[in-house]
């Protein structure tokens, strides 16, 4: 016996103020926002933002992200080359922060969101425990999304520190900003309740033997 859920009683939580009211009202009685049971076209929107983010991830990594001028030498380097430069200079914490924030975290976020979209649309059938764990990790990684901004702050600080060294952003910086913004939008468009709706419909088909709803 599954416990009663708001969706079965057509009760929607207002996206703006959080008030729960019948979806038949159309508008929230408190703040007059439009009521939806689920975010509309959530999976399609999330996928569109994820594809845009993945496309921008390529120029973000192969074009120079910073142009370093030091003692008259001008050196344009990609994110990975930048990490290598800091690593060789012995600046291990900066190298690690840049690697984690600009290479690892965006990839993790994009892969996890693609997987959650696949699970919510019934393309993969993970166990409830696995689904819960991946969603928890996405939330955890999402909380660190501002680390990307921190990298920029570190770079600016470096410009201030080095009197004989100037760092200017390269074309990859714009692409990188796009990756950050699009993954943020993708995470915002995703409605996690679709995951639990899908799990519930799977459990129902297990007990009744009917094929799952498309
Ligand atoms: Zn409201």
Report whether pLDDT(213) > 90: no
What is the Å distance from ligand 1's center to 21 Cα?
9
Q: Quick one: pLDDT at residue 43? A: 93
Count helices and strands (H / E) in the chain: 8, 5
In 3-state terms, what secondary structure has residue 207? Answer: helix
What is the Å distance from ligand 1's center to 32 Cα?
6
Report whether pLDDT(74) > 60: yes
| Residue 116 to residue 79: CA distance in whole angstroms | 28
Domain boundaries, the chain: 1-37, 40-208
* Mean per-residue pLDDT, 171-193: 87
Report whether pLDDT(49) > 60: yes
What is the Å distance from ligand 1's center to 34 Cα?
8
**Mean pLDDT, the chain, as a whole number?**
83
27 vs 214 pLDDT, higher one: 27
Q: Quick one: pLDDT at residue 51? A: 97
Q: Are 165 and 70 in contact (CB under 8 A)?
A: yes
Could you give the percent of the chain with pLDDT greater than 90?
23
152 vs 124 pLDDT, higher one: 124
Query: Rounded to two decimals, what is the model's pTM?
Result: 0.80
What is the Å distance from ligand 1's center to 35 Cα?
8
Tokens of 192: 């996690």
Report whether pLDDT(145) > 80: no
| Ion ligand 1, residue ranges at CB < 5 A | 14, 16-17, 19, 28, 30-31, 33
What is the Å distance from ligand 1's center to 11 Cα?
13
- pLDDT tens sequence across 94-130: 888 888 878 888 888 899 999 999 999 888 888 888 8
Which strands make up the sheet holding 73-77, listed edge to edge? Answer: 73-77, 66-70, 165-169
* Mean per-residue pLDDT, 74-95: 85
* Mean per-residue pLDDT, 176-184: 86
What is the Å distance from ligand 1's center to 14 Cα?
5
What is the Å distance from ligand 1's center to 199 Cα?
28
**Biggest CA pair distance of the chain:** 74
Alpha-carbon radius of gyration of the chain: 22
What is the Å distance from ligand 1's center to 68 Cα?
50
pLDDT category of residue 211 using cuts at 50, 70 and 90: low
What is the Å distance from ligand 1's center to 147 Cα?
32
Q: Quick one: pLDDT at residue 54? A: 95
Lowest mean pLDDT among 63-72, 126-135, 147-156: 147-156
């Amino acid at each position: 016996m599954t416990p009663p859920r708001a969706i079965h009683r057509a009760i929607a939580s207002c996206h703006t103020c959080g008030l729960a009211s019948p979806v038949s009202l159309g508008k929230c009685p408190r703040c007059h926002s439009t009521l939806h049971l689920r975010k509309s076209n959530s999976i399609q929107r999330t996928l569109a933002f994820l594809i845009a983010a993945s496309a921008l991830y390529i120029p973000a990594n192969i074009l120079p992200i910073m142009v370093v001028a030091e003692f008259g030498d001008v050196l344009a380097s990609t994110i990975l080359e930048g990490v290598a430069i800091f690593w060789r200079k012995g600046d291990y914490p900066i190298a690690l922060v840049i690697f984690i924030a600009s290479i690892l975290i965006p990839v993790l976020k994009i892969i996890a969101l693609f997987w959650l979209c696949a699970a919510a649309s019934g393309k993969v059938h993970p166990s409830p425990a696995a689904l819960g764990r991946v969603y928890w990790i996405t939330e955890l990684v999402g909380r660190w999304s501002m680390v990307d901004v921190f990298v920029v702050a570190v770079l600016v600080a470096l410009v201030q520190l080095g009197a004989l060294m100037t760092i200017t952003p390269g074309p990859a910086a714009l692409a990188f900003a796009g990756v950050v913004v699009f993954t943020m939008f993708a995470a915002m468009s995703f409605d996690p309740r679709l995951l639990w709706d899908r799990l519930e419909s799977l459990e129902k088909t297990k007990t009744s033997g009917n094929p799952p709803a498309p």
